[in-house]
Amino acid sequence: MKIIARDIPPRSVWALEQAGVHPLLARLYAARGVLGKDELDDGLARLLPPATLRGTQEAAVLLADAIRDSKRLCIVADYDCDGATACAVAVRGLRLLGAAHVSYLVPDRVIDGYGLTPPIAERVATTGADMLITVDNGIASVEGVAAAKARGLAVLVTDHHLPGPELPAADVLVNPNQPGCGFESKSIAGVGVMFYVLLALRAELRARGVFDAAPSAGLAQGAAAASALPQPKLDVLLPLVALGTVADVVKLDANNRRLVAQGLRRIRGGQMPVGLAALFKAAGRASAVATTFDFGFALGPRINAAGRLADMTLGIECLLTDDAGRADALARTLDGINRQRRDIEGDMRDQALRLAESLIDEGALPPPAISVFDAGFHEGVVGIVASRIKDRFHRPTFVFAASAADGKSHELKGSGRSIPGFHLRDALDLVAKRHPGVLLRFGGHAMAAGCTIAREHFDAFEQGMAQVAREWLAAAALTRQIETDGPLAREYMRVDLVDTLHREVWGQGFAPPTFSEEVEVISQRLVGEKHLALKLRHQGQPVDGMWFSHTEPLPSRVKLAFRLDADEWQGVRRVRFLVEGAEVD
């Protein structure tokens, strides 16, 4: 492992400090590419205009007509947290904007697989729906959209995934990654795309005189204005948008950071759906001091667990209900499913690690890509386990399980996680071209992807993926690096600054502050048999440290990469280090 420091442009730091930004935050922001204070403005007025997202205007007209004609709308969601929050945003938002008939359907991960398939389209048609709306899926559902259209359904696809070679023949496509779309935030999550569609729909309804004009636009006069309804506030949906955005681990560009910041602000003020409040309670987190870490490591996993092991309807209903008692019961159920998920994951992780280690000859490096399969693996957890193996060996990793939807287990479903410099979906595409027939289905992003293969083709897949990685990844890319913000000045070792840092929006592409320098290890001991508790000396001052999920002892002096945290002992809060890595010669 190599610990390196980010470049910190001094002119950007100076500009931010001159604009009144705290010196520590100025240094952190500058290292993440922020050039001026205006980029830190998280006001709603600074969001990218909905009109720049291709398809939103057409979607608004399609939906406004459907609402006018009392059409029946059915949302087809995905079974992860982004899909669940996007579904909840769609249902809540459409109802706020006057839709009288809104239902939803979420595919089962095991039985149905991913996305809008022809059987799912058929199920939507049998409900009596007039329009099918996808959220967080659909851009690759060519056959599913065709099946829906054949049954007479209007189809609106809202998605953020990369399209395939052929676009579905939907009535309207809204996706920032479709050809010809100039929307700057290509990394917006599925829930964000749906939120933008609702913003465009509200504007369309306002233009039709259904709602009062926005205050800044002035109120129209005459009979149309007299009959117009008050304009609904869609900002009530921002807590859900924030949760889905962070949980989907999309890049937190400036627009996504604004969406997340706005959602966090409302959550901290107690303005959120009762289901979110219940999830905070079930997770033992305080919503008044909510952070992006709560989204990524507490709420998101509890919702995702429903899609992995049970039925994502539980997660969606928790986000949709306005009954506090029902929300509490659903949140407790989700918490129980997540505990079960952790148990399954632990067993699978241990077995996957043994399988991965068996691929490594004594004294040799791991292969350039790792693929493992065990008949006992649960397909709902393969993605999480792939992430753990990837973190351990710093290699692109696929973990496969027998498909429960295939009664004879002839098919394997795999989930992959990647490292910087290796585009996983492009790698799958190349394997498919080089080995025709091996990949039955595949899709995904640069850093995460999924595929289905025949069981007898596992060896061919493993070898094919390893060969692509061998060609694409230089030796330097196979050495894990931790980017840090360099040394931490002693004057910043304060609990109030820890709290300040936690209140900011950090995440994928806008990394949380991580510092690095050489420290003295005074003592170390194992906690719970899998965590390392440390007593350290940092710049002559004692400080506690924790290295979670790490058991190997450290030398007496070592260069650590660490994040700042605060713990409490006998009523006194103190700074502590959360270790991310160590550079050991």
Has residue 306 been placed in a domain? no
Cα(16)–Cα(37) distance, integer angstroms:
6
User: What is the number of domains present in the chain?
Assistant: 3
Residues 486 and 399 reside in one and the same domain: no
Answer whether 75's CB lies under 8 Å from 91's CB: yes
- CATH number, position 577: 2.40.50.460
Residues 458 and 524 reside in one and the same domain: no
Predicted pLDDT of residue 375: 93
This prediction's pTM? 0.92
Cα(99)–Cα(235) distance, integer angstroms:
18
- Across 106-110, 258-262, 366-370, 539-543, least confident range: 106-110
- CATH number, position 171: 3.90.1640.30
Among 439, 463, 478, the domain boundary falls at: 478
Residues 94 and 213 reside in one and the same domain: yes
Contacts of 132 (CB under 8 A, 6+ apart): 74, 76, 116, 121, 124, 148, 153, 154, 155, 156
- To 5 degrees, how large is the angle CA 528–CA 533–CA 536? 175
Select from 190, 235, 184, 195 the least CA-distant residue to 214: 235
Cα(291)–Cα(280) distance, integer angstroms:
11
Has residue 311 been placed in a domain? no
- To 5 degrees, how large is the angle CA 221–CA 226–CA 231? 95
Cα(210)–Cα(204) distance, integer angstroms:
9
Residues 370 and 509 reside in one and the same domain: no
Task: List, for residues 299-358, the tens digit of each pLDDT value.
Answer: 999 999 999 999 999 999 999 999 999 999 999 999 999 999 999 999 999 999 999 999
Has residue 407 been placed in a domain? yes
CA–CA distances in Å: residue 28 to residues 250, 381, 562: 20, 35, 14
Residues 474 and 503 reside in one and the same domain: no
Contacts of 553 (CB under 8 A, 6+ apart): 524, 532
Has residue 428 been placed in a domain? yes
Return the half-sphere exposure (C-beta side, CA atoms, 13 A cut-off) of residue 453: 28
DSSP 52-112: GSTTHHHHHHHHHHHHHTT-EEEEE--SSHHHHHHHHHHHHHHHHTT-SEEEEE---TTTT
Answer whether 399's CB lies under 8 Å from 386's CB: yes
Identify the domain containing residue 426 by its residue range: 359-478
For all residues of the chain together, what is the average pLDDT? 94
Cα(389)–Cα(395) distance, integer angstroms:
8
Predicted pLDDT of residue 222: 41
Hey, what long-range contacts does 532-538 have (CB within 8 A, 24 or more apart)?
Answer: 532/579, 534/577, 534/579, 536/560, 536/577, 538/488, 538/493, 538/577
DSSP 443-495: EE-SSEEEEEEEGGGHHHHHHHHHHHHHHH--GGGGS-EEEE-----GGG--H
Cα(485)–Cα(564) distance, integer angstroms:
12
Among 181, 205, 233, the domain boundary falls at: 233
Among 200, 233, 266, the domain boundary falls at: 233
Residues 474 and 560 reside in one and the same domain: no
Predicted pLDDT of residue 35: 93
Q: How confident is the model at residue 214 (pLDDT cuts 50, 70, 90)?
A: low
Has residue 317 been placed in a domain? no
Has residue 377 been placed in a domain? yes
CA–CA distances in Å: residue 344 to residues 150, 347, 557, 574: 41, 5, 37, 35
Residues 466 and 524 reside in one and the same domain: no
Burial label, 307 (beta-carbon count in 10 A; 0-12, 13-18, 19+) = buried
Has residue 64 been placed in a domain? yes
Predicted pLDDT of residue 110: 78
In this model, does residue 215 exceed pLDDT 50? no
- CATH number, position 408: 3.10.310.30
In this model, does residue 224 exceed pLDDT 60? no
Task: List, for residues 76-100, the tens digit of each pLDDT value.
Answer: 999 999 999 999 999 999 999 999 9
Task: Report the DSSP beta bridge partners of residue 448.
Answer: 417
Which two structure tokens, joined as six digits, stand for 163? 């399209």
Q: Which residues of 146-168 are buried (b: 16+ CB within 10 A; e: fewer)?
A: bbbbeeebbbbbbbbbbbeeebb
Look-up: residue for tokens 């001991």? 525
Contacts of 164 (CB under 8 A, 6+ apart): 139, 140, 142, 443
Residues 470 and 491 reside in one and the same domain: no
Residues 208 and 62 reside in one and the same domain: yes
Look-up: residue for tokens 């030398």? 555
In this model, does residue 226 exceed pLDDT 70? no
Look-up: residue for tokens 């693929």? 371
In this model, does residue 409 exceed pLDDT 80? no
Residues 208 and 60 reside in one and the same domain: yes
Residues 488 and 469 reside in one and the same domain: no
Predicted pLDDT of residue 391: 93
Residues 168 and 219 reside in one and the same domain: yes
Task: List, for residues 131-157, the tens digit of each pLDDT value.
Answer: 999 999 999 999 999 999 999 999 999
Has residue 460 been placed in a domain? yes
Task: Report the DSSP beta bridge partners of residue 542.
Answer: 537
End-to-end CA distance of the chain: 9
